[in-house]
């Protein structure tokens, strides 16, 4: 049996994605492996898919066109390594200078700098924020867990870059309303213990899921009998 299971009971014609964590050793890598098939599952209701039922691949109304993407730390390191760039050079070449000035490493958008011929050119290295978004309804606890993992990983990127002296916000730089929203979330997550878990990890396999469960998401812990 898989350490993480994805299921979706059909309710009024809409399949709501739910998770079960079945093994105490389950990691973020196990979750991502269970999640990936959802991208190609045309039986799922997807808000922006043709007829609301189609694979994500080749989507022409895709989030890659305008999404505000700050990569989690594992993805950030993978991308830089895959491109054979130092972290400093990676930031300089692929991230918005005006967002770096306010302390937010947002990849160049409109469309995403890595979108080539409407296909992600770094698909195996893509960020958690990209991996988890499938424009499909999620049950509350599932949504909260993937949200928490994503924002913890994003915050770890920012803390790591700050500690390395690569992200030094200009106090005089102005923020958009979206910048302020993202900044507030980073402030909220900055002191969470999961940030250090991301910073100490080399791969998603190094990040255990159970430390990310709280009173709201504890229902996802359904160990095998």
Q: Model confidence over 44-93: pLDDT tens digits?
A: 888 888 888 888 776 776 678 888 999 999 999 999 999 999 999 999 99
Q: Give the predicted TM-score (pTM) of the model.
A: 0.94
- Look at residue 153 and tell me if it is in a domain: yes
- Look at residue 19 and tell me if it is in a domain: yes
pLDDT(202) > 90: yes
- Look at residue 225 and tell me if it is in a domain: no
- Look at residue 173 and tell me if it is in a domain: yes
- Look at residue 189 and tell me if it is in a domain: yes
What pLDDT is recorded for position 35? 95
pLDDT band at 117 (very low <50, low <70, confident <90, very high): confident
- Look at residue 100 and tell me if it is in a domain: yes
- Look at residue 60 and tell me if it is in a domain: yes
- Listed range (5-19, 21-35, 156-170, 198-212) with the worst mean pLDDT: 5-19
Angle CA(50)–CA(60)–CA(95) in degrees, nearest 5?
145
The mean pLDDT of the chain is 92
- Look at residue 50 and tell me if it is in a domain: yes
Q: What percent of the chain has pLDDT over 70?
A: 96
Structural domain harbouring 21: 4-220
pLDDT band at 42 (very low <50, low <70, confident <90, very high): confident
pLDDT band at 12 (very low <50, low <70, confident <90, very high): low
What pLDDT is recorded for position 97? 95
Domain tally, the chain = 1
């Amino acid at each position: 049996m898989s350490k993480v299971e994805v299921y979706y009971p059909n309710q009024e014609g809409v399949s709501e994605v739910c998770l079960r964590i079945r093994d105490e050793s389950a990691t973020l890598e196990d979750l991502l492996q269970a999640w990936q098939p959802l991208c190609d599952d045309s039986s799922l209701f997807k808000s922006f898919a043709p007829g609301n039922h189609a694979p994500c691949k080749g989507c022409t109304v895709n989030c890659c066109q305008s999404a505000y993407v700050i990569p989690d730390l594992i993805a950030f390191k993978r991308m830089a390594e895959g491109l054979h760039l130092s972290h400093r050079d990676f930031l300089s070449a692929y991230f918005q200078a005006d967002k770096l000035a306010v302390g937010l490493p947002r990849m160049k958008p409109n469309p995403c700098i890595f979108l080539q011929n409407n296909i992600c050119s770094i698909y195996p290295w893509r960020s958690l924020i990209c991996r988890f978004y499938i424009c499909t309804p999620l049950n509350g606890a599932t949504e909260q867990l993937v949200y928490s993992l994503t924002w913890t990983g994003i915050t770890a990127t920012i803390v790591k870059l700050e500690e390395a002296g690569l992200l030094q916000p200009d106090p005089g730089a102005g923020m958009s309303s979206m910048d302020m929203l993202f900044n507030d979330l980073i402030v909220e997550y900055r002191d969470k213990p999961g940030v250090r878990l991301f910073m100490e990890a080399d791969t998603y396999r190094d990040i255990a899921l159970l430390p990310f469960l709280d009173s709201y998401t504890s229902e996802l812990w359904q160990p095998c009998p």
